[in-house]
Amino acid sequence: MKNVFLVLFFGSLALLPVSAEVTDADLSKLPPAADKKGVTYEKDIRPIFEKSCFKCHGPEIEKPKGKLRLDTLPLVLKGGDNGPNVVAGDIKKSNLLHQVAQIGSEDEWMPPPDNKAKIPPLTKEQVALIRAWIEQGAK
């Protein structure tokens, strides 16, 4: 009976959402952080997300992909199905950065290479600004 309990308990842990999971992304492939100081979501990052991400993760979407919304700072920091995708100050745990930089598993690249809206990948400058934002505390 004790073994059955342990199997059920530990097996149920696999069902919990994983937050800030570290991916297999090669961080050496990231561009260096932008030199800009005082990067904020509202001023610098939201315009990038609005242009490239809102079609799937914006306020007009009834069921955003992965339950991830990117139109407000609190929603970005909350994350989606897999928990937080941005960890302030920690680029290693900020999977959103890996996804928009298109490093790591191609299945997780954002925007997806074959997206219907034909949204191009973010530029190195945009990724560098997102990296700087995260490193500066994701404010």
pLDDT tens digits along 37-87: 999 999 999 999 999 999 999 999 899 999 999 999 999 999 999 899 999
Q: Is residue 64 part of a domain?
A: yes
Q: Is residue 51 part of a domain?
A: yes
Mean pLDDT of 126-133: 98
What's the total number of domains in the chain?
1
Query: Is the pLDDT confidence value at 11 over 50?
Result: no
Residue 84 belongs to domain spanning: 36-135
Q: Is residue 88 part of a domain?
A: yes
Q: Is residue 73 part of a domain?
A: yes
Q: Is residue 21 part of a domain?
A: no
Question: Which residues fall within 8 angstroms of residue 22, CB to CB, at 6 or more apart?
Answer: 92, 93
Cβ burial of 137 (10 Å; 0-12, 13-18, 19+) is exposed
Q: Rounded to whole angstroms, how far apart are CA atoms 133 and 138?
A: 5
Q: Is residue 121 part of a domain?
A: yes
Q: Is residue 44 part of a domain?
A: yes
Q: Is residue 107 part of a domain?
A: yes
For the entire predicted model, the pTM comes to: 0.82
Place of tokens 């799937």: 56
Helix boundaries (H) for the chain: 2-13, 46-52, 54-57, 73-78, 95-101, 124-135
